[in-house]
Amino acid sequence: MAEVLSVEVVSRGSRDADLLILGAFEGESPDLEGLDEAVRRTAGRMAARSGWQGKEEQSGQSDVPDGPVVVLSGLGKAADFSAVKLANWIGRTADWARGNGYRRVQYVLPRHPETAGAAAAERAVRWLSLAGYRFDRRSEEKNGAPLEGILVAPPAGEEGGYRAAVAFSRPIAEAAAFSRTLANTPPNEATTLWMAERAREMAAERGIAVTVLDETEMGRRGMGGLLAVGSGSAHPPRLVRLDWGTEGPVVALVGKGVTFDTGGISIKPAQSMEDMKYDKCGACTVLGIVRAVADLGLKVRLRAYCAFAENMPSGTAYRPGDIVRFYNGKTVEIINTDAEGRLILADSLAWAVEEKPDALLEFSTLTGAIVVALGHQAGGLFTPDDGLAAELLGASAESGERLWRMPLYPEYLEDMKGVHADLKNSAGRPGSSSTAAAFLSQFVGEQKSWAHLDIAGVAYLSAEVNPKRAGATGFGVASTVAWLRRRAGA
């Protein structure tokens, strides 16, 4: 699996790098406090040029005698600067450094609320650690050799906070890279059985207990949703349960792992179908969270359920019009076989709530409607629990992963009532991200504290959205670990 870059916190006077990137805000003099004298003079000359403004993506470059190349890099207006802009700046400049042959890069961060304090330090270190991440199966190297390491010079007085952040953020970055690589792996390799085996390996390395249900055991338990979705594929479905921790609150995590989604009999258009390998991102996020929690040793009792199936059309595939019975006994009329994610989640949720966890989170690339609603800027949060919503929104702000709470009105459930069964699996386009969440609500029993996170718009970036950084994002790992840390009292 992918490695993350080592991040070393250095003083602002350090010049032990091939390239030094100095961030500067628009309309302000660059923060040169504590810099090496030669670097300070060089940066000052670039900032004094008539064309320099510090706008986003503007940059100037100059050599320092017997020292690094210095890049003065615009960050835009300080009032508009955000965690997302910081992450994008790190990614963009790291791409440039790599493409131009630099191996050891030093970032000099200006003082700003997004670069000062413990939470900001953890975010920045995590993004710097992931700055060199690539999933690449090319036969020859493209755009230079990989970066070797990152140095970061925080704002003056923040060095201690950044050093503490390295110990916490690196395991999270490693878990996010693990999640990304699982999601990026193509469907001819990342089959249902392959994913189950990767979960086993990760768990074995950390002493995490694993249970894997095959199709025979699912049939014995009456898990008709998973069996239906997987019925058209040569790769049989699997349901993986991970069990970690002996003290602290009990938290259940559920993840959707459709290893490839053709839409089944209700087949999708050919355009962009190659991106449907990312329909397993929910399960990949859950596996990343479990890995990070175990590596950090958080005091929580984690129960994770990852449902893996491949949705294919064939002579054995499930059909529109079928009626399927689920683990909790409810029946569902199939309207659209491309509304398959909620079916594999239903069985998983019904199993997860049997243990009566203190809280349950479910992650899935569930609907295109959430992408229409929120674009690629935030994940959708659905929960009836106001307290849990506040906790998750706070953790998302702390981690720099945006969530937006979406409605879960009782009327959405009315839309999902079946004609010949308890429910139907699709009610058409209007409000379809909320009707999908309402459908899931019927499989959590008496569980009061639960949340559905629809991450379809943020779990991956297509080549059309971001050609330079296309691929899985690992969204949800950092924010959930932040939330679990608070739950664990750490």
Supply the CATH number for residue 356's domain.
3.40.630.10
Count of Cβ atoms closer than 10 Å to residue 136 Cβ: 11
Whether residues 348 and 304 fall in one domain: yes
Residue 178 in any domain: the answer is no
Residue 386 in any domain: the answer is yes
pLDDT digits (tens, 9 = 90+) for 235-256: 999 999 999 999 999 999 999 9
How many structural domains is the chain composed of? Answer: 2
Distance between CA atoms of residues 313 and 262, nearest Å = 7
Among residues 103, 133, 167, the one where a domain terminates is 167
CATH code at position 149: 3.40.220.10
Q: How many helices (H) and strands (E) does the chain have?
A: 14, 19
Q: Are 411 and 313 in contact (CB under 8 A)?
A: no
Distance between CA atoms of residues 35 and 150, nearest Å = 17
Among residues 110, 141, 167, the one where a domain terminates is 167
Q: Are 159 and 11 in contact (CB under 8 A)?
A: yes
Cα-based angle 476, 481, 484 (whole degrees, multiple of 5): 125
Whether residues 343 and 406 fall in one domain: yes
Whether residues 319 and 400 fall in one domain: yes
SS3 content of the chain, % helix, strand, coil (to 5): 40, 20, 40
pTM over 0.85: yes
**Residue 70 forms beta bridges with which residues?**
20, 62
- Which residue has tokens 């050609």? 467
pLDDT at 49: 93
pLDDT at 447: 97
pLDDT band at 490 (very low <50, low <70, confident <90, very high): low
Pick the catalytic residue from 180, 256, 280, 342. Answer: 342
Q: Are 363 and 285 in contact (CB under 8 A)?
A: yes
Whether residues 123 and 265 fall in one domain: no
Looking at residue 255, the DSSP 8-state letter turns out to be E
Distance between CA atoms of residues 421 and 110, nearest Å = 60
Task: State mean pLDDT over 346-352.
Answer: 98
Q: Tell me the pLDDT of the chain averaged across its residues.
A: 95
Q: Has 268 been annotated as catalytic?
A: yes
Whether residues 412 and 443 fall in one domain: yes
Distance between CA atoms of residues 259 and 229, nearest Å = 11
The full 3-state SS of 9-43, as one line of letters, equals ECCCCCCCCCEEEEEECCCCCCCCCCCCHHHHHHH
pLDDT digits (tens, 9 = 90+) for 79-117: 999 999 999 999 999 999 998 999 999 999 999 999 999
Tell me the residue range of the domain where 158 lies: 7-167
pLDDT digits (tens, 9 = 90+) for 367-388: 999 999 999 999 999 999 999 9
**Contacts of the segment 269-275: beta carbons below 8 A, 24+ positions apart:** 272/462, 272/464, 275/460, 275/462
pLDDT band at 144 (very low <50, low <70, confident <90, very high): low
Among residues 167, 194, 222, the one where a domain terminates is 167
**Nearest residue to 206 (alpha-carbon basis) of 288, 295, 286:** 295
Pick the catalytic residue from 77, 104, 221, 268. Answer: 268
Whether residues 12 and 57 fall in one domain: yes
pLDDT at 469: 80
Higher pLDDT residue, 15 or 475?
A: 475
Residue 87 in any domain: the answer is yes
Residue 176 in any domain: the answer is no
pLDDT band at 266 (very low <50, low <70, confident <90, very high): very high
Say if residue 480's pLDDT is above 50: yes
HSE-up of 28 (CA within 13 Å, CB side)? 17
3-state SS assignment for residue 193: helix
Q: Are 401 and 291 in contact (CB under 8 A)?
A: no
Residue 325 in any domain: the answer is yes
Strands (E), 137-186: 149-153
How many residues belong to the chain?
Answer: 490
pLDDT band at 1 (very low <50, low <70, confident <90, very high): very low
Residue 2 in any domain: the answer is no
Task: State mean pLDDT over 258-275.
Answer: 96
Cα-based angle 58, 61, 63 (whole degrees, multiple of 5): 165
pLDDT at 256: 98
Task: State mean pLDDT over 262-282.
Answer: 96
Whether residues 341 and 424 fall in one domain: yes
Q: Are 231 and 317 in contact (CB under 8 A)?
A: yes
**Residue 302 forms beta bridges with which residues?**
244, 251
Residue 399 in any domain: the answer is yes
**Residue 19 forms beta bridges with which residues?**
69, 105
pLDDT at 268: 96
Whether residues 325 and 457 fall in one domain: yes
Q: Are 239 and 212 in contact (CB under 8 A)?
A: yes
Whether residues 201 and 92 fall in one domain: no
Residue 387 in any domain: the answer is yes
Whether residues 158 and 198 fall in one domain: no
pLDDT band at 463 (very low <50, low <70, confident <90, very high): confident
**Contacts of the segment 80-83: beta carbons below 8 A, 24+ positions apart:** 81/25, 81/112, 81/114, 82/114, 83/114, 83/120, 83/123, 83/400
pLDDT digits (tens, 9 = 90+) for 59-75: 999 999 888 999 999 99
pLDDT at 378: 97
Say if residue 140's pLDDT is above 70: no
Q: Has 417 been annotated as catalytic?
A: no
pLDDT band at 141 (very low <50, low <70, confident <90, very high): low
Distances (CA, A) of 470 to 59, 134, 139, 312: 24, 10, 19, 25
Whether residues 193 and 152 fall in one domain: no
Whether residues 149 and 258 fall in one domain: no
Q: Is 189 exposed, middle or buried (0-12, 13-18, 19+ CB in 10 A)?
A: exposed
